Structure 1
Amino acid sequence: MLKYIVKRVLQAIPLMIAITAICFILIDLAPYDAVDSLVTDKMTKEQIEQRREEYGLNDPVYVQYFRWVKNVCKGDLGYSLINKTNIAKDMSVKIPNTINLVLPSYVTAFMLAILLGLLAGYKKDGWIDKIINGAASVGLAVPTFWVALLVIYKFGCDLKWFPIVGMHTIGDESFGDFIMHFIMPYSVLIIGFLPDLVRYVRSSTITQLSEDYVLVQKAFGSNKMEILFKHVSRNVLLPLITKLGMSLPMLVTGAVITETIFSWPGIGSYFVNAINKMDYPIVMDILLLSGTLVILGNLLSDILCALVDPRIRVEGE
């Protein structure tokens, strides 16, 4: 297993280089850059060029790329071109805020999906299945931002039950105030995560119920609930664990739209603001983080599957 992990990590290095190089080139090909957002009507062409030279934007793209990679390898994520703030310090504040929002939402959706998906798969084509599967289909079709706007309008503007934006009221850092700000984006994310997970569990449940071991358990006199929750659910969890590991990037980038709409001070809104201002050091650092989490998520999925299924361990050995 250790040999396999080392092999996968070594394979990830050229992949990360390719991802960052492509992203860096695409950003360089954009018609605007960070200096354009700083230009004023009073600035002369010489002053604009001086700014470009100061930021190193006149250097060839490969020079800029290798300079950025060199700094990242030293642990220096650089500074925002617009705000002049340290990106590493900004991200150390933003990432925990995002995790505090996304992790509870995804775990809640995950647990609900197991229950609803097993029930829908077990009652295939019944009225319970039609309700759950229909709701999941509608949830997949409805954009998250639209749900967020409806929630804000109804519970924030109309009923005024919850505050609309931010993570805290200015001057109030209490846990109760945090919860009041937390409930609406938390609910929107659950609605966003749940449909895909429910359909995934439902599909796996239907597949498992057609396997021979289910007939064997029925022949031995096992009741339906025992077969469903003791035997079928165990086999359904294996592909679901793979999906759980691959969802690791969501902890950082899974709530970009929701964070932006609710002005939640997380990595998502930080990323969107950087894109709008063409603050490419921030954009590149977040893309690097996201790519790293994708690779780690795939690796984590393989490890979890090997731990759960002994057959995979044997094949690996």
Structure 2
Amino acid sequence: MLGYLLRRVTWLLGSLVVAGSAIFFLLRVLPGDPAVTLLAVGASPDQLDAIRHQLGTDRPLLEQFTGWFGGLLSGQLGESLFTRLPVLDQIVGRLPVTLPLALSAFVLSLLVAVPIGILAAVRRRGVAGIVVSALAQLGIALPVFWVGIILVWLVAVDWRLLPPGGFPRDAWLEPTLAARSLVLPVITLTVAQTSVLVRYVRSATLDVLNQEYIRTARSLGYSLTQALWRHGLRNGAAPVVNVLGVLLASSLLGTVVIESVFALPGLGTLLLTSVKARDLPVVQGTVFLMTATVLVVGLVVDVVQRLIDPRLRGGAG
């Protein structure tokens, strides 16, 4: 197990280097000039050159990359081209909105999807199983931003039960106010993720139900629920854990759309604003941290799968 961990950590570090390099150079290929964005229309070439020199965008590309990557190794993501504030501080300042949104949606999706997915598998030929499968397919097909708009229209505008969007400054000083602001975004993100997870849980449970050891347990007098709980839960959990890793990563990435719909000042809003302003250090720092999160979650998922499924710990691979 230790050797496997060392290999996975080595692959993780190599993947981070490749991802960071790709993010940096691909952003430089995109059209647009931060100096043009910063200055008013009609600026002279001399003014543009002066701003490029001030921002450092006129330096050789390799020199810019070396400076940025060296900052990564020391835990620094550079400074914003426009606000001159450290990128890491700006990202950390948005996390109190994005992290509760992403983690709450992930946990709620897990709590709802696992029992419903198991029910859909056990009752696959009954009304409950058919209805759950149809609703899950519908939830996957619906655009997440459309679900958010419908919830705002019904819950916030018509019924006036919750705020339609926004997140007041220092809202966490009043946890109730902050929670009310996040209820609709969390529900919106949960609908999309639960629909996906229900289908995976249903598929994994159906696979377990067709195994010989379940039929043997039933022949020994166990009920279907007892057989699943005693013998099927661990075997069916391994493929679901893999999906949970993807779901956790997509929770963070999905906040980009959700925060736009509900006008939340989170990490997704920071990313979109920086893209429009051509603020390259903020964009590449934010995208790199999101990519690193996905890769780290993948590592954790692989380790958990090996702990759950002994078959993955055997063999030379």
TM range (shorter): over 0.9
The TM-score, its normalising length taken from structure 1, stands at 0.93
- Tell me how far 1:62 sits from its aligned partner: 2.3
- Please list the CA deviations of residues 276-303 of structure 1 after superposition, one character each: whole Å capped at 9, or x if unmatched: 1111111111221122122211211111
Corresponding residue of 1:65: 65
Determine helix, strand or coil for the equivalent of 2:150.
helix
Question: What amino acid maps onto 1:108 in structure 2?
Answer: L
Corresponding residue of 1:196: 196
- Tell me how far 1:172 sits from its aligned partner: 8.8
- Tell me how far 1:200 sits from its aligned partner: 0.4
Return the alpha-carbon distance in structure 2 between the equivalents of residues 128 and 232 of structure 1. Answer: 21
Corresponding residue of 2:219: 219
Contact 2:110 2:194 in 1 (8 A): yes
Corresponding residue of 1:239: 239
Return closer, same or farther for 1:147/1:171 CA change in 2, 3 Å cut-off. Answer: closer
- Tell me how far 1:316 sits from its aligned partner: 6.8
1:287 aligns with 2:287: yes
Return the alpha-carbon distance in structure 2 between the equivalents of residues 116 and 85 of structure 1. Answer: 46
Contact 2:171 2:178 in 1 (8 A): no
- Please list the CA deviations of residues 199-249 of structure 1 after superposition, one character each: whole Å capped at 9, or x if unmatched: 000111111111111110111011122123333233221211222234443
Corresponding residue of 1:109: 109
Corresponding residue of 2:304: 304
CA RMSD, aligned part only? 2.0
Return closer, same or farther for 1:230/1:210 CA change in 2, 3 Å cut-off. Answer: same
Return the alpha-carbon distance in structure 2 between the equivalents of residues 171 and 143 of structure 1. Answer: 29
Corresponding residue of 2:165: 165
Corresponding residue of 2:230: 230
Return the alpha-carbon distance in structure 2 between the equivalents of residues 231 and 128 of structure 1. Answer: 24
Return the alpha-carbon distance in structure 1 between the equivalents of residues 242 and 39 of structure 2. Answer: 48
Return the alpha-carbon distance in structure 1 between the equivalents of residues 155 and 35 of structure 2. Answer: 41
- Tell me how far 1:31 sits from its aligned partner: 1.3
Determine helix, strand or coil for the equivalent of 2:26.
helix
Corresponding residue of 1:184: 184
Return the alpha-carbon distance in structure 1 between the equivalents of residues 34 and 192 of structure 2. Answer: 33
Contact 1:33 1:279 in 2 (8 A): no
- Tell me how far 1:314 sits from its aligned partner: 4.1
Show structure 2 runs of 5+ residues with no match. none
The TM-score, its normalising length taken from structure 2, stands at 0.93
Question: What amino acid maps onto 1:198 in structure 2?
Answer: V
Contact 1:118 1:233 in 2 (8 A): no
Q: How many residue pairs end up in the alignment?
A: 317
- Tell me how far 1:51 sits from its aligned partner: 0.7
- Tell me how far 1:169 sits from its aligned partner: 6.9
Contact 2:98 2:266 in 1 (8 A): yes
Q: After superposition, where does 1:42-81 map in structure 2 within 5 Å? A: 43-81=43-81
- Tell me how far 1:170 sits from its aligned partner: 8.0
Return the alpha-carbon distance in structure 2 between the equivalents of residues 303 and 126 of structure 1. Answer: 37
Segment of structure 1 superposing worse, 302-311 or 271-280: 302-311
Q: Which runs of 4+ in 1 moved over 6 A?
A: 169-172
Return the alpha-carbon distance in structure 2 between the equivalents of residues 125 and 35 of structure 1. Answer: 63
- Please list the CA deviations of residues 159-195 of structure 1 after superposition, one character each: whole Å capped at 9, or x if unmatched: 2221122223788941221122121111111112101
Return closer, same or farther for 1:151/1:47 CA change in 2, 3 Å cut-off. Answer: same
- Please list the CA deviations of residues 33-64 of structure 1 after superposition, one character each: whole Å capped at 9, or x if unmatched: 32222120353221111111221212232222
- Tell me how far 1:78 sits from its aligned partner: 1.1
Corresponding residue of 1:96: 96
Question: What amino acid maps onto 1:99 in structure 2?
Answer: L
Return the alpha-carbon distance in structure 2 between the equivalents of residues 198 and 285 of structure 1. Answer: 34
Determine helix, strand or coil for the equivalent of 1:255.
helix
Segment of structure 1 superposing worse, 242-251 or 292-301: 242-251
Contact 1:253 1:267 in 2 (8 A): no
Show structure 1 runs of 5+ residues with no match. none
Question: What amino acid maps onto 1:7 in structure 2?
Answer: R
Return closer, same or farther for 1:171/1:294 CA change in 2, 3 Å cut-off. Answer: closer
Corresponding residue of 1:206: 206
Corresponding residue of 1:118: 118
Return the alpha-carbon distance in structure 2 between the equivalents of residues 314 and 295 of structure 1. Answer: 24
Return closer, same or farther for 1:84/1:29 CA change in 2, 3 Å cut-off. Answer: same
Corresponding residue of 1:278: 278
Identity within the alignment, %: 26
Return the alpha-carbon distance in structure 1 between the equivalents of residues 227 and 212 of structure 2. Answer: 12
Return closer, same or farther for 1:39/1:97 CA change in 2, 3 Å cut-off. Answer: same
